[in-house]
């Protein structure tokens, strides 16, 4: 099967089980605590919480996910192995108060072994087994164990070998400290060259790339209460997730789950081939599938292969994010997309010799691979290419100079003697590059926070990009020092911004009366009706002034409130609130 056929067969299988096939939700999450949509279940959370009634009993889909910020962040590993991604598809099926464990696990086994033809002997299942000494919730999942025991016995396999007990970390899912939760059962795939069952079992949950989890079945059956107790839910739900690229990569590597001699790789899936072909055309270099065993002293070919994986992954991520309205920017999720885009540009120029504008040409092969399943890529193609090209031109103009400065600094640091700290002249000032010290009998060279900040502030190098370049030469980076310089810059920016606003607010006509603050007088769940009396504009921002407001203005070490206003029926986001000299609250 092709990757597209694997995806479609999953959806067709669950359609035959009376599931509604729904489209992927946007990578822009509706939940305020998420940077990106990072799991297939995100769009269904209101149904699990009971806030909304699900319009279907059974659902299946393939969901675009990004894990490159916040709690789930795989960015730094992308390229250095064959299974981490910033953007991936999650194949999943859900039951909202309908079927439960027996159907979920039985259908899972049927799809994997009967439809896709995975050898049953290579599959292992985990079930939840709490450690009561550690206060783990609930009881041993006997129901899931019994279902699996029958499945394995019917296949002529020993349940004692193929069922593995799992702890709370691996086999108990919680939405948060409180709320819906329950045990889960993972299906693991032995990819060792031998199908020896004892060896396969020994590698379950061992972090071995040769024995990996491919499908997790979560059984949402409890509510975690604030007092630490767990109560049964009125309705039980199923939430499953299977990494599409992982399955497609294994299928391609093993020639249809038949030959397990080669090392598994997600990037063997043909979904990446159009992008790899385009990179070869642009660079004249070939992808050989090499994977480094360490991150320093890389061979030339290892650097090339890392760059192929980085660019193939990042092109998909950035294209899908922009198509969903998440453009490169300076804050929050927009900054994460900018970091990913700049990381790709840096790898492309440094390792493959690509030119400014080449990364934008990777949008076409991404659409070739994903456009039929995510049609917004086709409809938003012009915007995606334009946004990427603008970022390439902006960053490309400084990238070369930044790389030159880094290489100069790193070379001087490598030549430095112990307990010395070389500096480099930038304009009329000197910046400390770092220091060479002895640690545990070994010579360690550390790039200073000041130098890392210079690369970020002047040349647009995020800290992690400097760390990647440094590690390749066996050098550390003072990340804490970098953060100190960043915070100093933020404080200067806040002070300058306030001055800019206050000056603008006092220009022209006489300043109006101070804003009446009513934030302590209302219930926070209700709105305040106010009159818009002025709009203050600076070069960078616009500020609204009302006759009265519940928004606390920045003062006394407390940050200004954020929220929104409804003006003529249109929602306007309030990103900050400060005061001018006359006491007016500027939103």
Q: What is the CATH number of the domain that holds 142?
A: 3.30.930.10
Split at pLDDT 50, 70, 90, the class of 193 is very high
* pLDDT at residue 493 in the model: 63
Tokens of 408: 């100069």
- Of the candidates 272, 221, 278, 213, the residue with the CA atom closest to the CA atom of residue 247: 213
Residues 83, 206 within the same domain: yes
Number of domains in the chain: 4
Residues 469, 387 within the same domain: no
Asked which of 348, 373, 406 is the last residue of a domain, the reply is: 406
CA 410, 393, 76 angle in degrees (round to 5)? 50
Residues 223, 287 within the same domain: no
Asked which of 239, 264, 289 is the last residue of a domain, the reply is: 264
* pLDDT at residue 578 in the model: 86
Parallel, antiparallel, or unpaired: how do β-strands 163-166 and 230-243 relate? unpaired
* pLDDT at residue 503 in the model: 60
In terms of Cβ atoms closer than 10 Å to its own Cβ (0-12, 13-18, 19+), residue 208 is middle
Task: Collapse the DSSP code of 165 into the 3-class scheme (helix H, G, I; strand E, B; otherwise coil) and give the result.
Answer: strand
Going by C-beta distance under 8 Å and a sequence separation of 6 or more, which residues neighbour residue 146? Answer: none
Asked whether residue 14 is assigned to any structural domain, the reply reads yes
- Of the candidates 314, 350, 290, the residue with the CA atom closest to the CA atom of residue 473: 350
Instruction: For residue 176, count other CB atoms closer than 10 A to its CB.
Output: 9
* pLDDT at residue 189 in the model: 97
Q: What is the mean pLDDT of the chain?
A: 90
- Computed from CA positions of residues 84, 298, 464, 346, in that sequence, does the dihedral angle turn out positive or negative? negative
Q: Which residue has the tokens 């299977």?
A: 242
Asked whether residue 534 is assigned to any structural domain, the reply reads yes
**Mean pLDDT in residue range 397-424:** 89
Going by C-beta distance under 8 Å and a sequence separation of 6 or more, which residues neighbour residue 161? Answer: 197, 198, 201
Contact assessment for residue 464 and residue 342, using Cβ atoms and an 8 Å cutoff: no
Please tell me what DSSP assigns to residue 551. Answer: P
Going by C-beta distance under 8 Å and a sequence separation of 6 or more, which residues neighbour residue 164? Answer: 124, 125, 126, 127, 188, 201, 204, 205
**Mean pLDDT in residue range 438-450:** 92
Residues in the chain: 587
Task: Collapse the DSSP code of 541 into the 3-class scheme (helix H, G, I; strand E, B; otherwise coil) and give the result.
Answer: coil
Asked whether residue 497 is assigned to any structural domain, the reply reads no
Residue 557 has pLDDT above 60, yes or no: no
Asked whether residue 507 is assigned to any structural domain, the reply reads no
Q: Which residue has the tokens 């490598």?
A: 414
Residues 168, 28 within the same domain: yes
**Mean pLDDT in residue range 101-120:** 98
Dist CA 243 CA 65 (whole Å): 10
Structure pTM?
Answer: 0.80
* pLDDT at residue 74 in the model: 78
**Residue-by-residue DSSP string for 150-162:** HHHHHTT--HHHH
Asked which of 369, 388, 406 is the last residue of a domain, the reply is: 406
Residues 193, 44 within the same domain: yes
Residues 64, 193 within the same domain: yes
**Mean pLDDT in residue range 413-424:** 88
Contact assessment for residue 315 and residue 366, using Cβ atoms and an 8 Å cutoff: yes
Q: Which long-range contacts (CB under 8 A, 24 or more apart) does 552-555 make?
A: 552/517, 552/519, 552/577, 553/517, 553/577, 553/578, 553/579, 553/585, 553/586, 554/578, 554/579, 555/579
Residues 200, 319 within the same domain: no
**Mean pLDDT in residue range 575-581:** 83
* pLDDT at residue 264 in the model: 94
Instruction: For residue 179, count other CB atoms closer than 10 A to its CB.
Output: 15
Q: Which of 33-47, 366-380, 505-519 has the lowest mean pLDDT?
A: 505-519
Q: What is the pLDDT of residues 130-180, one digit of tens each?
A: 998 888 888 899 999 999 999 999 999 999 999 999 999 999 998 777 888
* pLDDT at residue 547 in the model: 92
CA 14, 233, 142 angle in degrees (round to 5)? 70
Residue 505 has pLDDT above 60, yes or no: no
In terms of Cβ atoms closer than 10 Å to its own Cβ (0-12, 13-18, 19+), residue 108 is buried
Q: Which of 384-393, 432-441, 530-539 has the lowest mean pLDDT?
A: 530-539
Residues 189, 307 within the same domain: no
Residues 181, 302 within the same domain: no
Give the best-scoring range by mean pLDDT among 40-44, 126-130, 133-137.
126-130
* pLDDT at residue 48 in the model: 85
Residues 430, 565 within the same domain: no
**Mean pLDDT in residue range 83-91:** 95
108 versus 76: the higher-pLDDT residue is: 108
**Residue-by-residue DSSP string for 175-207:** SSSSEEEEEEEEEEEE-SSS--HHHHHHTTTTT
Asked whether residue 578 is assigned to any structural domain, the reply reads yes
Asked whether residue 282 is assigned to any structural domain, the reply reads yes
Instruction: For residue 552, count other CB atoms closer than 10 A to its CB.
Output: 17
Asked whether residue 506 is assigned to any structural domain, the reply reads no
Residues 536, 442 within the same domain: no
Instruction: For residue 112, count other CB atoms closer than 10 A to its CB.
Output: 22
Residue 321 has pLDDT above 80, yes or no: yes
Q: What is the CATH number of the domain that holds 578?
A: 2.40.30.130
Instruction: For residue 514, count other CB atoms closer than 10 A to its CB.
Output: 12
Q: Which domain holds residue 133?
A: 3-264
* pLDDT at residue 435 in the model: 92
Split at pLDDT 50, 70, 90, the class of 508 is very low
**Mean pLDDT in residue range 100-108:** 98
* pLDDT at residue 377 in the model: 97
**Mean pLDDT in residue range 526-536:** 86
* pLDDT at residue 310 in the model: 97
Asked whether residue 169 is assigned to any structural domain, the reply reads yes
Residues 78, 154 within the same domain: yes
Split at pLDDT 50, 70, 90, the class of 434 is very high
């Amino acid at each position: 099967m092709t990757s597209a056929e694997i995806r479609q067969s999953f959806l067709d299988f669950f359609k035959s089980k009376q599931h509604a096939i729904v489209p992927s939700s946007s990578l822009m999450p509706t939940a305020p605590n998420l940077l990106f949509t990072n799991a297939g279940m995100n769009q269904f959370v209101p149904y699990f919480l009971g806030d909304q009634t699900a319009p279907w009993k059974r659902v299946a889909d393939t969901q675009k996910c990004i894990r490159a910020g916040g709690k789930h962040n795989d960015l730094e590993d992308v390229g250095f192995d064959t299974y981490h991604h910033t953007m991936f598809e999650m194949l999943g099926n859900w039951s909202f108060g309908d079927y439960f464990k027996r159907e979920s696990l039985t259908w899972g086994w049927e799809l994997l072994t009967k439809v896709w033809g995975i050898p049953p002997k290579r599959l292992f299942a985990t079930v939840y087994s709490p450690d009561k000494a550690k206060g783990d919730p609930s009881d041993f999942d006997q129901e899931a164990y019994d279902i699996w025991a029958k499945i394995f016995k019917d296949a002529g396999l020993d349940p004692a070998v193929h069922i593995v007990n799992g702890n709370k970390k691996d086999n108990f899912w919680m939405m948060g400290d409180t709320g819906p939760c329950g045990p889960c059962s993972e299906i693991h795939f032995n990819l060792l060259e031998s199908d020896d069952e004892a060896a396969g079992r020994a590698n379950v949950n061992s972090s071995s790339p040769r024995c990996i989890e491919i499908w997790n079945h979560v059984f949402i059956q409890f509510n975690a209460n604030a007092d630490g107790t767990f109560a049964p839910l009125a309705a039980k739900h199923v939430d499953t997730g299977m990494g599409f690229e992982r399955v497609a990569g294994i299928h391609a590597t093993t020639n249809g789950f038949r030959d397990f001699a080669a090392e598994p790789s997600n990037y063997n899936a043909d979904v990446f081939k159009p992008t790899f072909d385009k990179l070869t055309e642009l660079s004249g270099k070939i992808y050989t599938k090499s994977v480094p065993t360490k991150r320093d002293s890389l061979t030339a070919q290892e650097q090339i292969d890392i760059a192929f994986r980085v660019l193939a992954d990042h092109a998909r991520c950035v294209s899908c994010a922009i198509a969903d309205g998440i453009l490169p920017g300076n804050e929050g999720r927009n900054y994460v997309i900018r970091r990913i885009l700049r990381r790709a540009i840096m790898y492309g120029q440094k390792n493959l010799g690509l030119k400014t504008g080449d990364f934008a040409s990777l949008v076409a092969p991404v659409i070739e691979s994903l456009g039929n399943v995510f049609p917004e890529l086709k409809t938003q193609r012009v915007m995606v290419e334009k946004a990427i090209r603008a970022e390439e031109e902006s960053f490309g103009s400084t990238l070369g100079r930044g790389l030159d400065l880094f290489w100069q600094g790193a070379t001087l640091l490598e030549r430095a003697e112990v307990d010395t700290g070389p500096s480099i002249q930038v304009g009329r000032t000197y910046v400390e590059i770092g220091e060479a010290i002895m640690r545990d009998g070994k010579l360690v060279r550390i790039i200073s926070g000041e130098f890392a900040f210079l690369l970020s502030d002047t040349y647009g190098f995020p800290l992690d990009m400097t760390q990647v370049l440094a590690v390749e030469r066996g050098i550390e980076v003072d990340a804490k020092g970098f953060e100190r310089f960043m915070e100093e810059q933020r404080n200067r920016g806040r002070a300058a911004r306030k001055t800019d606003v206050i000056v603008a607010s006092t220009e022209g006509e006489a300043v109006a009366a101070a804003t009446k603050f009513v934030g302590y007088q209302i219930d926070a769940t209700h709105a305040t009706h106010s009159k818009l009396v002025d709009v203050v504009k600076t070069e960078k921002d616009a500020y609204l002034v009302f006759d009265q407001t519940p928004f606390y203005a920045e003062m006394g070490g407390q940050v200004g409130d954020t929220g929104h206003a409804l003006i003529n029926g249109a929602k306007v986001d309030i990103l900050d609130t400060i005061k001018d000299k006359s006491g007016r609250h500027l939103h």
